[in-house]
Amino acid sequence: MALTVAENELITHVGPGTPCGEMMRRYWHPIGLSTELKGRPLRRRLLGEDLVVFRDDQGRVGLLTLRCSHRGTSLEFGHIEDGGLRCCYHGWLYDIEGKILQMPGEPAESTFKDRVRQKAYKAQEAAGIIFAYIGPEPAPLLPRWDVLVRDDGERSLAARVIHCNYLQTVENSVDQHHFKWLHRTPKTRFWTDEKLTYEITEFGIRDTFTRTVPDGTFMTVSHFLMPNMNKVGY
């Protein structure tokens, strides 16, 4: 049965103040790769919010709202120096917590910089991935999934932008029946006895997809991790 317009909007709108957006903000989300932070800030958009992620000259990762508190200049054009991120327009210098370290142009006795703060969010690195948390405090622990902490193998990282709503990728990730047709190879056309089973778990959904192939039985186990991640094992 098709969703109503209201039901569709309820689970696809993730901006600030929306029901789904408030739920999603209770989780950590990947926002970039550590290798991308090569001396310049990065502009990112997460759950409808425009952000800037950077690594300061002490090696710490910072995550701030994109627009400078002074005149709204995009901090993606800022300079990483003197312990923080300096706005390219008037030189306001922010640390990773949004505190203003320097406010050029103000009198020496001014305390204005102590009364202004840039909105900052938490960022952590794990396995070469930068994770962001933009929800209410206290923040949950960043999950220590095995793929993030194991050191007994090789790890390959890649990232790309998919121009669709997050829910479309979630639906696709748990829909293993499409694999035979959309990702078809000379062998997939010979799959038979396909069976897909689901199990609700404390972390999301585990689905098992078995099929008969010319040389035996093949199984794929997918662990959907709330709210929008999927781990697939063969």
Distance CA 16, CA 22 (A): 7
Q: How many residues does the chain have?
A: 234
Give the tens place of pLDDT for each residue, 22-72.
Answer: 999 999 999 999 999 988 999 999 999 999 999 999 999 999 999 999 999
Tokens of 102: 């320097």
Which pLDDT value is given to residue 1? 66
For domain 5-27+34-149, which architecture applies?
A: 3-layer Sandwich (2.102)
Distance CA 81, CA 93 (A): 8
Of 91, 47, 84, the residue nearest 69 (C-alpha) = 91
Distance CA 91, CA 89 (A): 6
Give the tens place of pLDDT for each residue, 125-179.
Answer: 999 999 999 999 999 999 998 889 988 988 899 998 888 999 998 888 888 888 8
Location of structure tokens 């121009």? 163
Distance CA 27, CA 132 (A): 9
4-13, 92-101, 211-220: which range is least confident on average?
211-220
Location of structure tokens 């759950």? 47
Which pLDDT value is given to residue 31? 96
| Average confidence (pLDDT) over 96-114 | 95
Give the tens place of pLDDT for each residue, 181-197.
Answer: 888 888 888 888 888 89
For residue 11, is pLDDT > 80?
Answer: yes
Q: Could you give the C-alpha distances from 31 to 21, 77, 98, 101, 222, in angstroms and in order? A: 16, 18, 18, 26, 23
Other C-beta atoms within 10 Å of 87: how many?
24
Tokens of 155: 């790890």
Would you call 7 helix, strand, or coil by DSSP?
Answer: helix
For residue 96, is pLDDT > 70?
Answer: yes
Strands 100-102, 120-126: pairing is: unpaired
For residue 89, is pLDDT > 70?
Answer: yes
Would you call 135 helix, strand, or coil by DSSP?
Answer: coil
Domain-by-domain residue ranges, the chain? 5-27+34-149, 166-233
